[in-house]
Structure 1
Amino acid sequence: MNTIEKLKAINNLLLQTAFIVNYDNVAEHLLEVYDLEKYSKRSFLRDIQGLKEEIGRRYPTLEDDLGPLIKHNRVKDRYTYVRDDLSAFPSLSEKELTQIASIIEFNQHLFTDRAGKGVVNKLRAISLENSLTEYNELLSWPSIQLIKDGERSGSEQLQKLIECISGKKIIELQHKGLTSKSQAKTISGLPIMIKEYNNGWFTGWYLLFHEINAADKIVEPRIEGLRLLALDRIESVKEKTDRRRINIPLNFNPVEYFQYCFGIFRENISDPNLTHEKVTIKLEPNNWILPYVMKYPLHFTQEVKVVNEETKEAIVELDIEINDELVSMILKYTDYMTIVSPERLRLKVIERLQKSLSNYSI
């Protein structure tokens, strides 16, 4: 392990807020990960000095404002960067970032709603930021701020589930409801697909799942029989040794499960006759929503009829399933849009509005 490799390893540890960087911890890490047996405290202090020089070259004038860019807390015996956005080395090289971006572009089928293009753009933004700081003084604020989605709840189950999806393997899940009083239930079935979704509250992983029972001799998934499970409520995943025959219909495409719903949550299990229907929404005069709806359709079935160009009054028609997410979206913009039909959707919105008003009654 040469000096640069050691410096990069320690740099990466400094970027991990949960890791306490000191001689003992770094020496243990280098031994476990890199089999580096003879690592003295003198070598560690030399490497810290080397990192200070590297980061000083990368941000040549920042020390004038902040002082030493690596500080040592004597009480806690811990080294840290003075700012969270500092690094002596880019986390990925330009070549690596380009390769990853190319791989994502080549696999656009794994993403929906042009999300893959967004990831590529983020990687290119990171690459650009890294290259600019090599030649320019670092600002006291980031020149680009990317959306931080954070950890994905349930991600610890992801690898096992993807392996079982690819291998068409039957699994047994321990699944717990959302409330604190819910008991974990054992569910057996065939995992179909992982869906990532941001519902406006947080971004999480969801498992599209075909449940089976003991009497089923043939496992044959159908779109309307699938159910959606949040990964953060799955407590365990166990692959089952099962001799039942798995028959995937030729026209089976799990993406169709989400085709006519607003968001991803459907009521197909509680309502086997669930279907999509025509929804008509009036955009009220003097709204600001019309240009956004025209550019970013609410749903792929959307049709817009502009009634008045001057006031922006319009009629929006969707062929869609009615669910809580659709109602919530309408309520969010209720000052600017009104449900024309169907009547049951109007009543859902009215009921929610009346309940909200009652909460504010004096």
Structure 2
Amino acid sequence: MHPSERLREINSLLLQKSFQVNYASISAYLSEQFDIANYAERSFSRDIKDLKELLQIRYPQLHDTAGELIKFSRAQNRFYLIRDDISAFPSISDKELSQIASTIEQNKHLFSGGAGEGLVNKLRAIALENSMARNHDMLAWSAIELVKDGERSGADLIPIILENIHAKKVVLFSHRGLSAQSKLKQTRGIPLMLKEYNNGWYTGWYVLFQAIEKDTTHIKIELEKLQLYALDRIVSVSSIQEQPRVRIHPEFRPADYFKNCLGLFRSNSQKAMNISCRMEKDSWMLNYIEKYPIHASQQISRENESSVLVQLTLEIDQEVENFFLRFAQEIRVIEPEKLAQAIKNGLEKGILNYC
């Protein structure tokens, strides 16, 4: 093992609070993980010294005020970093960041709504911060703050659901509603797709599936029969013994379930409708939606010298109404009349809240 690789390993162990970094533990670790049987205590002392020097180079201002950035606790018999947010090396090298970005680029089908590009931008931000840390004093605050998605409730169910999607197997979902008083229910279904979605309050995972009756022996997968569950409402996913025979058309695509939605949830009885809107040519929103369409069905045409028409084909639901209410100052719904009236009623109700 090259000395620089050994330093990275020790640095990584220092970042793990559960690992007691001292000569005995590092020697045992190197012997077990890398078959290094002759690691001397003198070499360990030199490695700790080198790590201290690297930290001083990366964080000179912090070193000037706090002294050595790796200290030894006699009571605990361990070396430790004086702060949790420092490291002798970037946690991910620039080369590794580049490799991850390339992998994301090659797997765009796993991302929607520009999420892949957003993740690449985060990786670039990490690389930039690493570069700044090498060339400038450490700031007392974070120079970049990205969107914090928070903990993904239900994410622990993803492996078993994904396995059954690939195996095309029916499972038993145990789930309950959002209310604390909701009773536990069970539904048999064949999972077909996992979808990530930001609903404005939090970002979560959802599973798209087709419900199956208990004694069914043959299944024909159909888009109109699909349902959606939030993973944070699912308590468990378990296998069943008797597996029915599954028929899936070669051109079937679960994602088509969402093709006429502005958001995520939909009613199977709801039909997509043509929505016609008017927007002034000098609206800031026009430039925005030309680059980032409201929906894939969007079409923009000239109405006159001062305005344009925006055409959309969508299932009209609460999410669609909320969108037009949010941007009512910039875009006006002309047709259908029922949607235009719903927007008007919503605006009037909002005004009453301020009277």
Please say whether Structure 1 and Structure 2 have the same fold, judged by a TM-score greater than 0.5: yes
Q: Which moved more, 1:298-307 or 1:157-166?
A: 298-307
Distance 2:197 2:181 in 1: 26
Give 1:2 shift. 9.0
Distance 1:59 1:251 in 2: 56
Residue equivalent to 1:318:
312
Match of 1:353 among 334, 347, 354: 347
Residue equivalent to 1:190:
190
* Amino acid aligned to 1:277: M
Residue equivalent to 1:301:
297
Give 1:133 shift. 3.5
- The runs of 5 or more residues in structure 2 that have no matched partner are none
Distance change in 2, residues 1:119/1:309 (3 Å): farther
Give 1:338 shift. 2.0
Distance 1:72 1:324 in 2: 59
Alignment of 1:162 with 2:162, yes or no, is yes
Q: % of aligned pairs identical?
A: 42
* Partner deviation per Cα, 1:218-255 (whole Å, 9 max, x = no partner): 12221121111111111111122223101111221111
SS in 1 for 2:284: coil
- Asked if the contact 1:210/1:221 (under 8 Å) is kept, the reply is yes
- The runs of 5 or more residues in structure 1 that have no matched partner are none
Alignment of 1:336 with 2:330, yes or no, is yes
Residue equivalent to 2:273:
277
SS in 2 for 1:289: helix
Q: Once superposed, what is the RMSD of the aligned Cα atoms?
A: 3.8
Distance 1:243 1:100 in 2: 38
Q: Which moved more, 1:351-360 or 1:230-239?
A: 351-360
Give 1:200 shift. 2.3
* Partner deviation per Cα, 1:194-223 (whole Å, 9 max, x = no partner): 111122221111111111112422122211
Give 1:4 shift. 6.3
Distance change in 2, residues 1:74/1:321 (3 Å): farther
- Asked if the contact 2:272/2:316 (under 8 Å) is kept, the reply is yes
Distance change in 2, residues 1:129/1:309 (3 Å): farther
Q: How does the TM-score come out when normalised to structure 2?
A: 0.81
* Amino acid aligned to 2:311: E
* Partner deviation per Cα, 1:9-66 (whole Å, 9 max, x = no partner): 56446657xx567669x969x87xx679x99xx9999977664333223334442356
Aligned residues: 348
Residue equivalent to 1:216:
216
- Superposition map of 1:259-274 within 5 A: 259-268=259-268, 273-274=269-270
Residue equivalent to 1:244:
244
Give 1:354 shift. 3.8
Alignment of 1:147 with 2:151, yes or no, is no
Residue equivalent to 1:291:
287
* Partner deviation per Cα, 1:109-166 (whole Å, 9 max, x = no partner): 22223432332343244234434543x1245155544433233221111111111111
- Asked if the contact 1:206/1:229 (under 8 Å) is kept, the reply is yes
- Asked if the contact 1:61/1:137 (under 8 Å) is kept, the reply is no
- Asked if the contact 2:262/2:319 (under 8 Å) is kept, the reply is yes
Distance change in 2, residues 1:335/1:158 (3 Å): same
Distance change in 2, residues 1:99/1:354 (3 Å): same
SS in 2 for 1:265: coil
Distance change in 2, residues 1:356/1:170 (3 Å): same
Residue equivalent to 2:136:
137
Distance change in 2, residues 1:360/1:160 (3 Å): same
Alignment of 1:206 with 2:206, yes or no, is yes
SS in 2 for 1:304: strand
SS in 1 for 2:210: strand
- Asked if the contact 2:13/2:21 (under 8 Å) is kept, the reply is no
- Asked if the contact 1:70/1:82 (under 8 Å) is kept, the reply is no
